[in-house]
Amino acid sequence: MDKNSRIFIAGHRGMVGSAIKRKLESNGYTNLLCKTHNGLDLTDQKAVNEFFQSEKPEYVFLAAAKVGGILANSTYPAEFIYQNIMIEANVIHAAYTYGAKKLLFLGSSCIYPKFAPQPMKEEYLLTGELEVTNEAYAIAKIAGIRLCKHYNQQYGTNFMSVMPTNLYGQNDNFDLESSHVMPALIRKFHEAKVEGKPEIVIWGTGLPRREFLHVDDMADACVHLMENYDESDVGEFVNIGVGKDITIQELAELIGDIVGYEGEIVYDTSKPDGTPQKLLDVSRLNGLGWEARISLKDGITETYEWYKSGNEPA
């Protein structure tokens, strides 16, 4: 990419897309194409084709997606599979049809089997059953990976896929009905502190292990790959993570310390835990010259400060 390349960021207002936009701007890219959902419905094939035909983006970051935690995935599985497949199919096909030079598709580590060996290597894809609570979302993301793979195979496109681990940071979703574990805990601890609650209840046993990557690190990795590598360099896809994890209990205690909450943490073991462990093997990514820089404590502290600075929900 040169600094004047026409770059389309699909989903630029979400946590992932906004981080990629910030990174590109800080790197001096000036010709960024961004459309809100009202301006461009990515589930509408006709609208997507018209956009690509008129704007002719040269590079595409496909970060748009319907996302959520266990509760949202379990409650709205049809919406998760339909909307994500439609977004991916429309954007990837239009990128091929209108001659985009390169596309980077962002998936999710939930694509891996529930009981995949840890840490999870890229080749473990489709080697076992998926976690039932987010199966619809995972299948949609697997479809996106395979769309990129087979368009490259049949049409000679340069489309690559990356699989980020659990992300957090600025512009995260803090809604307790639809958020992931990190922002949900930040909000729960903050509100419990403000309201003086003697205890905070967390779903599950606290024993599952999770890996967390700051969204600014993720954006840095994506731009690094787009600038320096082609799909033939990364294989079918490449994991993006930090290569180490912690338990939900350890995460809760860390957030509690950062927020300054002094009450008791209670675990509701009647609620589901989800996948026991999700740790990515990042040796392929490290071999491509990138590794995470932001520590978990620093990242959570920064995210909490952002949340408190007038960004928390009313």
Residue 237 burial (C-beta neighbours within 10 Å; 0-12, 13-18, 19+)? buried
The answer to whether 273 is annotated as binding is: yes
Residue whose token pair is 């969204």: 215
The answer to whether 15 is annotated as binding is: yes
Which of 98, 95, 102, 127 shows the shortest CA–CA distance to 113?
127
The answer to whether 180 is annotated as binding is: yes
Query: Is the Cβ–Cβ distance between 119 and 74 less than 8 Å?
Result: no
Which two three-digit tokens encode residue 118?
């840890």
The answer to whether 164 is annotated as binding is: yes
In 10 A of CB 207, how many CB atoms? 13
The answer to whether 17 is annotated as binding is: yes
Which of 152, 21, 158, 149 shows the shortest CA–CA distance to 102?
158
The answer to whether 32 is annotated as binding is: no
Query: Is the Cβ–Cβ distance between 129 and 184 less than 8 Å?
Result: no
- From 29, 96, 112, 137, the catalytic residue: 137
The answer to whether 16 is annotated as binding is: yes
The answer to whether 75 is annotated as binding is: no
Query: Is 137 a catalytic site residue?
Result: yes
The answer to whether 119 is annotated as binding is: no
- Annotation: binding site for NADP(+): 11-17, 106-109, 141, 164-167, 180
Q: Binding site for substrate, residues?
A: 188, 203, 210, 273
Q: Which residues are annotated as a binding site?
A: 11-17, 106-109, 141, 164-167, 180, 188, 203, 210, 273
As annotated, the active-site residues are 137
